[in-house]
A and B are shown apart, each in its own frame.
Chain A
Amino acid sequence: MNLHEYQAKDIMRSHGIATPAGDVVTMPEAAAESARKFGGPVMVKAQVHVGGRGKAGGVKFCKTPDEAREKAAAILGMTIKGLTVKKVLIAPAADIASEAYVGIIVDRERKKPVFMVSAAGGIDIEEVAATTPEKIRYHAVDVRYGLMPFEALELGFFLYTDAKLARSAAKVMQQLYAAFMATGCSLAEINPLVVTPAGEVVALDGKMVIDDNEVDRRPDLEALRDADNEDPAEVDAREHNLTFIKLDGNVGCVVNGAGLAMATMDLVKYYGGEPANFLDIGGSSNPEKVVNALRIITTDKNVKAILFNIFGGITRTDDVANGIVTAIKANPLTVPLVIRLTGTNEELAMKILTENGLTASADMDEAVKAAVKVAAGGVAA
């Protein structure tokens, strides 16, 4: 789960990291008011869950409250990479003497949280890694001991030669590590970490991504979710314990299991079609899940055929068949349906489908081919 910049900064601030105070506003007039309150130049920053806000015109420097109103009016409602900006952060513009980067990710290879720090901050760290990798220092943390003070200081001295600044930066590293662990993050970064003309080390921008598995057990983190900033169908799916990701094709897919769901999308493509979505109904079956899955998929007007691919292990195929029948009775489909199911209680499932005028195949390749064909306007074999 992605956090907004202002949310990440709130968490960092609560762990002692210096970061400029800001206001989150939804109206241009409130932006002007906020700028007046800060009494100097401000930054108006779009709060959306995408990278590259600045390049897309979602971050602006404003000298006066009038300018803040004008820029906020332009940014609010703007669409950045498909997401509408509904909130902007107004923060005092800082004088910057230098910009550094500090980030922590959970690294799957080292199986530890890993610090990445660089004195070349302010730009994409991926770009620094690709062009000047020697400018990044990595440090894997043994979570049983945490980030030790001497390790933090080594990282601090990698950023600054001045001992006072290095010590301040070391403190920020430990605070960021504490915030990372306490919030169950998979990523936390400060970019840029700046030194002000007064010699203070300040986090000017912050980003945090929380591990979705952590959110499941922490209601306090769930409260930070901004469902407004997600695809409504994906939010709907999550609320019904389905994993759904919208794609651009026309073959709607309902599958049990993530690996099989990906393989099904791949097979749709292999036979010349385009998948409209990734949808995993999960392991334990429940007819209700199928009803919700069909409802969510049919809201996508691009969908020209719906493909079920169910391999019954824990999932009982008769539960899936009952779900399909219930859903169609309540809301007749306007697009063709192709069903493949095999495994647990297959005979019973086939009987339920046949009694309700539906047919199913036991073969994955046959079903995918048929779905691709009918989606393209052909007639199923």
Chain B
Amino acid sequence: MSIFIDNTTRLVVQGITGRDGSFHTRQMVEYGTQVVAGVTPGKGGQTFEAVSPEGKPVAVPIFNTVSEAVKATGANTSVIYVPPPYAADAIFEAASSVPLVVCITEGVPVLDMTRVYPFVKERGARLIGPNCPGLISPGRAKVGIIPGRICAEGPVGVVSRSGTLTYEIVYQLTRAGIGQTSCVGIGGDPINGTNFIDCLAAFEADPDTKAVALMGEIGGTDEQEAAEFVRDHMKKPVVGFIAGQTAPPGRRMGHAGAIISGSSGTAAEKIEAFEQCGIGVAKRPLDFVELIRARLSMN
């Protein structure tokens, strides 16, 4: 099993003919994801060529709108690779037609997100991102940009606010023979569609997930709330890490969300919350391997 995406995922790619969209669509098809449609307004009727894991050519039909694509192909998930000024509208469009929307785009203005967030909730859809690497359920499907070859099937759920740091830790787990049910990058922006708690609840409910690795960052209080959720609602063990222990206050560290303002959101506060709520603390990325291994062997 896995969370959010699996063999039943039928994906529509918004921005399939763009530079990033076309590159990653080929990667997703090659990984075995069912990419059933693409959307680029004005290019409806054309097809996008990719290659399946078996090396066979795949022709993905392109539509002008998401609703057309969904009607014609039964797509149930959308992934968005459109430039930041148009990302909010792409999310509105996707959430109006499919229940799961993954927005990879980095640089979406936060005021746009204040409009997007309630809209998506009212439609009953789930948004992952923006400014995220997407998610992967190893051996089943990948939606987004997480490199498939660094993952392996196994018992660990991974949830993270970052991209390459997630790759680093997933890769170290995989090399140590510890595979994953799903890896979810929730994104580094101040307002995102899915938070740690949503993912922790999903992993707790997933029978194949035996332990969870959580990678947080400085800024905000999401990690502290996640820690309380682990204490109050989870039986499965969780190991956590906080990036940005050496970051100076008041400066945005690449991720718009990674900024320490006032006394709220420091790495020290988050680590303390982890310790108080029974989350194993990885002091450095490499520590995940041993901490997770120890918790898996207790099951």
CB-based contact A126/B285 at 8 Å: no
Q: With CB as the reference atom, state the residue of chain A lying closest to B215.
A: A259
A344 close to chain B: CB less than 8 A:
yes
**Contacts known (A106-B110, A211-B109); A263 close to B167, Cβ less than 8 A:** no
Min C-beta distance of A309 to chain B, whole Å: 9
**Contacts known (A343-B147, A343-B167); A259 close to B188, Cβ less than 8 A:** yes
CB-based contact B253/A262 at 8 Å: yes
CB-based contact B285/A108 at 8 Å: no
Interface size on A, residues (CB 8 A): 52
**Contacts known (A212-B256, A278-B247); A260 close to B286, Cβ less than 8 A:** no
Q: Which of B109, B147, B215, B217 has the most CB of A within 10 A?
A: B109
Q: Which of B82-127 contact A (CB under 8 A)?
A: 84-85, 106-111, 113-115, 117-118
**Given A144, A217, A260, which contacts B85 in the complex, CB threshold below 8 Å?**
A217
A239 close to chain B: CB less than 8 A:
no
Measured in the bound complex, the distance between the Cα atoms of B258 and A144 in whole Å is 27
Min C-beta distance of B61 to chain A, whole Å: 26
CB-based contact B111/A184 at 8 Å: yes
Measured in the bound complex, the distance between the Cα atoms of B254 and A278 in whole Å is 9
**Given B84, B191, B241, B255, which contacts A258 in the complex, CB threshold below 8 Å?**
B255
Q: Looking at chain A's contact residues, is the secondary structure mostly helix, strand, loop, or mixed?
A: mixed
B252 close to chain A: CB less than 8 A:
yes
Interface stretch, picked from B4-12, B52-60, B155-163, B199-207, is B155-163
Measured in the bound complex, the distance between the Cα atoms of B166 and A371 in whole Å is 23
Measured in the bound complex, the distance between the Cα atoms of B191 and A167 in whole Å is 33
Q: Which of A341-381 contact B (CB under 8 A)?
A: 342-344, 364-365
Measured in the bound complex, the distance between the Cα atoms of B248 and A247 in whole Å is 8
Q: With CB as the reference atom, state the residue of chain B lying closest to A261.
A: B254
Min C-beta distance of B237 to chain A, whole Å: 22
A308 close to chain B: CB less than 8 A:
no
A292 close to chain B: CB less than 8 A:
no
**Contacts known (A111-B191, A213-B256, A311-B167); A144 close to B115, Cβ less than 8 A:** yes
B73 close to chain A: CB less than 8 A:
no
Q: Which of A241-284 contact B (CB under 8 A)?
A: 243, 245, 247, 255-263, 265-270, 275, 278, 280, 283-284
**Contacts known (A257-B163, A258-B253, A260-B164); A111 close to B246, Cβ less than 8 A:** no
Min C-beta distance of A222 to chain B, whole Å: 14
Measured in the bound complex, the distance between the Cα atoms of B168 and A280 in whole Å is 15
Q: Which of A72-90 contact B (CB under 8 A)?
A: none
CB-based contact A106/B111 at 8 Å: yes
A333 close to chain B: CB less than 8 A:
no
Q: Which of B254-281 contact A (CB under 8 A)?
A: 254-258, 262, 267
CB-based contact A257/B165 at 8 Å: yes
CB-based contact A259/B252 at 8 Å: no
Q: Which residues of B contact A186 (CB under 8 A)?
A: 110
**Contacts known (A211-B109, A258-B254, A278-B254); A313 close to B163, Cβ less than 8 A:** yes
Q: Which of B136-183 contact A (CB under 8 A)?
A: 145-147, 150, 160-168, 171
Of the four ranges (under 10, 10 to 19, 20 to 34, 35 or more), the interface on chain B belongs to 35 or more
B283 close to chain A: CB less than 8 A:
yes
Q: With CB as the reference atom, state the residue of chain B lying closest to A129.
A: B262
**1/0 contact string of A267-307 vs chain B (CB within 8 Å):** 11110000100101001100000000000000000000000
CB-based contact A142/B109 at 8 Å: no
**Contacts known (A106-B190, A314-B145); A259 close to B164, Cβ less than 8 A:** yes
Q: Which residues of B contact A224 (CB under 8 A)?
A: none
Q: Which residues of B contact A283 (CB under 8 A)?
A: 106, 163
B66 close to chain A: CB less than 8 A:
no
CB-based contact B254/A280 at 8 Å: yes
CB-based contact B168/A262 at 8 Å: no
A236 close to chain B: CB less than 8 A:
no
Min C-beta distance of B249 to chain A, whole Å: 12
Measured in the bound complex, the distance between the Cα atoms of B166 and A261 in whole Å is 12
Measured in the bound complex, the distance between the Cα atoms of B193 and A108 in whole Å is 11
Q: Which residues of A contact B247 (CB under 8 A)?
A: 262, 265, 278
**Given B111, B146, B164, B256, which contacts A181 in the complex, CB threshold below 8 Å?**
B111
CB-based contact B164/A311 at 8 Å: yes
Measured in the bound complex, the distance between the Cα atoms of B107 and A216 in whole Å is 8
CB-based contact B114/A111 at 8 Å: yes
CB-based contact A311/B168 at 8 Å: yes
CB-based contact B108/A344 at 8 Å: no
Min C-beta distance of B20 to chain A, whole Å: 8
**Given B109, B113, B221, which contacts A111 in the complex, CB threshold below 8 Å?**
B113
Min C-beta distance of A264 to chain B, whole Å: 9
Measured in the bound complex, the distance between the Cα atoms of B191 and A261 in whole Å is 21
Q: Which residues of B contact A269 (CB under 8 A)?
A: 245-246
**Given A143, A212, A314, which contacts B114 in the complex, CB threshold below 8 Å?**
A143
Q: Which residues of A contact B215 (CB under 8 A)?
A: 259
CB-based contact A142/B243 at 8 Å: no
CB-based contact B114/A112 at 8 Å: yes
Q: Which residues of A contact B190 (CB under 8 A)?
A: 106, 108
**Contacts known (A245-B248, A258-B254, A266-B244); A106 close to B168, Cβ less than 8 A:** no
**Given A142, A211, A260, which contacts B168 in the complex, CB threshold below 8 Å?**
A260
Min C-beta distance of B183 to chain A, whole Å: 12
Q: Which residues of B contact A261 (CB under 8 A)?
A: 253-254
List 8 additional A-B contacts (Cβ < 8 Å) besides A311-B171, A343-B147.
A108-B191, A212-B252, A259-B164, A259-B165, A263-B285, A284-B20, A313-B147, A365-B286
Please name the 4 residue pairs, one residue from A and one from B, whose CB atoms are nearest each other, closest first: A259-B162, A258-B254, A257-B164, A259-B165
* Chain A residues within 8 Å of B, Cβ to Cβ: 106, 108-109, 111-113, 126, 142-144, 181, 184-186, 211-214, 216-217, 243, 245, 247, 255-263, 265-270, 275, 278, 280, 283-284, 311, 313-315, 342-344, 364-365
